[in-house]
Amino acid sequence: MIEIPAWLLILVLLFAAVTALDRVLMPSVRWYLRRRLERAVERLNQRLSYPIQPFKLARRRDTILRLRYDPEVAQAVLDFARERGIREDVAAQTAERYAREIVPSFSAFTYFAFAIRAARMISRTLYRVRVGAANAAALEDIGQDKTVIFVINHRSNMDYVLVTWLAAERSALAYAVGEWARVWPLQPLIKSLGGYFIRRRHNNPLYRKVLARYVQMATEAGVTQAVFPEGGLTRTGALREPKLGLLSYIIDGFRPGQSRDVVFVPVAINYDRVMEDRNLIHAEGGRGFRFSLKPIFRYLRLLIWQKLTRQATRYGMAAVSFGEPVSLTDFIGDHNGHAELLGQELMRRIEGVMPVVPFPVIAHAMASGVRSQAELLPAIQQRFEKALEAGAPVFLPKRDLDYTIEAALQTLAGRRILHMRGDAIELTEEGEALVAFYARSVAPVLGGFPGEILPEKSAAT
């Protein structure tokens, strides 16, 4: 007979139970849940214009290993080791760390059961959402045998939320997200939604090769993506010059006649009010711009209070327009595949379908020198007529223009950047910068104004 203490027996039984759970029960449960998920995705793909591809649903670890042992990455590892004078296994570990940093962990359940509903609720709570120039026929003609990439101008961090919701009926989007969002709880959430992080700075040839191969693999596999070619939020209100990093990766990995055709869909977004407008204007003045969750929490607190007191207000309109798609096969045949030319063409098409919403039109009139309420109404009517004649997507206010102008002036006065002296309008220095910021979004349609600047210049990466 062998005697052991009761506590030791309990410990042995506990370890045995954990081992049985890990080796026998959990694999079966994971297999069962994965099978249910696969069937759910199959049903979901039947209603999506661009189905979720197997590459996006693959286990994250498998994709990391595939990326780590890719021949081009392996060669980049050797070059990196020789350049830095380090062992090859150390360079290989660095490449794998980059792959873990980039590769997302997409969850169809999180995306469609949580993210889409949250995006719809947030968008409708903050704005009256409008879609103009939907271009549905052109989008339907693309077909499921091609890779679709939505190319979007970047005015606000709301862009992610808005486009995620509006594109939900077509596909699940994979975003390229900058380092600003690598904070808890955004980082795990964005990865579960299929977003992948990219370094804007402090990268090296090995990192760029790992990132390039991931983008090329996803593109070749047909993953629907969304990119912001400007590389960051506009700080002046005008469209920025495109950065060419991701576009270059896609073009470099494309083989006409062998690869899946890639179709770029230009998407233009404009707002009556950008939540970050003051921060962006200050950043343009040289003070820098850092992402922070504090303004979001502050606004949510205000929103909850307004809901409780039944005084909830919205930021006006948020409008989205879709331009004419660009086939990479056709573009390469006509332009020999220059990324710079492709970037310029996409930005031109975005500019061509930029929504014209009420407050930027009011701001354009004020930036042009209108300084009285009596002159403001005819000036705004004239600008709306000009935009309609130009064929731009125009979103007229739901109520009459007099009410819209009065509401806009009250909002500016509440933000302490405008003062009314009878009929006269006086803008503070910050107010002058703010109306110019909004006016630049519609300047390509309505024409220039005193103090207008050219599109922001930024070095291509």
Considering the domain architecture, whether residues 394 and 330 belong to the same structural domain is answered as no
Overall domain count for the chain: 2
Considering the domain architecture, whether residues 321 and 371 belong to the same structural domain is answered as no
Q: Considering 337, 352, 367, which residue would you say is the last residue of a domain?
A: 352
| Stretch 344-351: mean pLDDT | 94
Q: Which residue has the tokens 């209070």?
A: 305
| Stretch 198-219: mean pLDDT | 89
* CATH at residue 374: 1.10.10
Residue 130, domain member (yes or no): yes
Residue 115 has pLDDT above 80, yes or no: yes
List Cα–Cα distances, 154 to 49, 229, 267, 286, 444, in angstroms: 25, 8, 10, 20, 16
Considering the domain architecture, whether residues 280 and 244 belong to the same structural domain is answered as yes
Which tokens go with 94? 């660095």
Coil, helix or strand for 240?
strand
Side chain identity, residue 258: Q
Considering the domain architecture, whether residues 221 and 241 belong to the same structural domain is answered as yes
Q: Which pLDDT score, from 0 to 100, does residue 289 have?
A: 57
Residue 110, domain member (yes or no): yes
Q: Considering 317, 352, 387, which residue would you say is the last residue of a domain?
A: 352
CA dist., res. 252 & res. 332, Å (int)? 11
Kindly calculate the radius of gyration of the chain based on its CA atoms and give it in whole angstroms.
26
Residue 267, domain member (yes or no): yes
Q: How confident is the model at residue 441 (pLDDT cuts 50, 70, 90)?
A: very high
Q: Which pLDDT score, from 0 to 100, does residue 64 have?
A: 93
Q: Which pLDDT score, from 0 to 100, does residue 350 have?
A: 95
List Cα–Cα distances, 202 to 51, 179, 188, 457, in angstroms: 35, 11, 22, 21
Beta bridge partners of 425: 420
pLDDT tens digits for range 126-170: 899 998 766 777 777 888 889 999 999 999 888 988 888 888 777
Considering the domain architecture, whether residues 250 and 142 belong to the same structural domain is answered as yes
Considering the domain architecture, whether residues 431 and 408 belong to the same structural domain is answered as yes
| Stretch 276-296: mean pLDDT | 70
Considering the domain architecture, whether residues 288 and 401 belong to the same structural domain is answered as no
What is the pLDDT of the chain when averaged over all its residues?
A: 84
Q: How confident is the model at residue 461 (pLDDT cuts 50, 70, 90)?
A: very low
CA dist., res. 215 & res. 219, Å (int)? 6
CA dist., res. 300 & res. 224, Å (int)? 31
Residue 330, domain member (yes or no): yes
| Stretch 312-320: mean pLDDT | 83
Residue 322, domain member (yes or no): yes
Considering the domain architecture, whether residues 282 and 389 belong to the same structural domain is answered as no
Considering the domain architecture, whether residues 119 and 181 belong to the same structural domain is answered as yes
Residue 455, domain member (yes or no): no
Residue 310 has pLDDT above 80, yes or no: no
Considering the domain architecture, whether residues 138 and 220 belong to the same structural domain is answered as yes
Residue 377, domain member (yes or no): yes
Considering the domain architecture, whether residues 419 and 289 belong to the same structural domain is answered as no
Residue 435, domain member (yes or no): yes
pLDDT tens digits for range 88-107: 999 999 999 999 989 998 88
Considering the domain architecture, whether residues 415 and 336 belong to the same structural domain is answered as no
Give me the domain span that covers residue 152: 101-352
Average the pLDDT over each of 270-279, 300-309, 328-337, 441-450 and give the range with the smallest value: 300-309
| Stretch 431-451: mean pLDDT | 90
Residue 320 has pLDDT above 60, yes or no: yes
* CATH at residue 111: 3.40.1130.10
Q: Considering 302, 328, 352, which residue would you say is the last residue of a domain?
A: 352
